[in-house]
Amino acid sequence: NEDPRVTVNELKLLLGEPVPSHQSLGTIHSFFVQRFGFQKNCRIIASSGDNPCTLASMRLQSPNHACISLGTSDTIFGISSSLPTSDSRNSSEGHIFINPINPQNFMVMLCYKNGSITRQQIRDSLFSSSASKKDGWSEFNDSLLNHSTPGNNGFIGFFFNFPEITPHIPISITKRFNSENQEIDSFSSNHIEVRALIEGFALSALSHSKKLGMKPNVLYATGGASANNSILQVYANVFGVQVFRLESKSGGAALGAALRAMHGKVCAESNVLVDFDKFLESSTSSDELQHVCDPDLSTQQIYQDLLKRYEQLELKVISESHLTN
Q: pLDDT tens digit string along 209-234?
A: 998 889 999 999 998 899 999 999 99
Residue 35's pLDDT is 97
CA distance 102 to 277: 10
Which carries the bigger pLDDT value, residue 316 or residue 6? 316
Alpha helices in 3-68 (DSSP H): 4-15, 30-36, 50-57
pLDDT band at 2 (very low <50, low <70, confident <90, very high): low
Q: What percent of the chain has pLDDT over 70?
A: 91
pLDDT band at 246 (very low <50, low <70, confident <90, very high): confident
How much is the pTM? 0.89
In this predicted structure, the answer to whether residue 48 has a pLDDT above a threshold of 50 is yes
pLDDT band at 133 (very low <50, low <70, confident <90, very high): very low
Which carries the bigger pLDDT value, residue 239 or residue 283? 239
Beta strands in 205-294 (DSSP E): 218-222, 242-246, 289-293
- The pLDDT tens digits of the residues spanning 149-202 come to 999 999 999 999 999 999 999 999 999 999 999 999 999 999 999 999 999 999
In this predicted structure, the answer to whether residue 32 has a pLDDT above a threshold of 60 is yes
Lowest-confidence pick of 85-89, 243-247, 256-260, 268-272: 85-89
Query: Is residue 176 a contact partner of residue 184, using CB atoms and an 8 Å limit?
Result: yes
Mean pLDDT over residues 92-97, rounded?
86
Peptide bond into 103 cis (omega under 30): no
Nearest to 120 by CA among 68, 66, 178, 159: 159
pLDDT band at 286 (very low <50, low <70, confident <90, very high): low
Residue 192's pLDDT is 97
* SS3 state of residue 28: coil
Amino acid at the residue 73: S
Give whole-number Cα distances, 295 to 25, 112, 150, 217, 232, in Å.
45, 24, 11, 11, 10
- pLDDT, the chain, mean: 90
Mean pLDDT over residues 269-297, rounded?
85
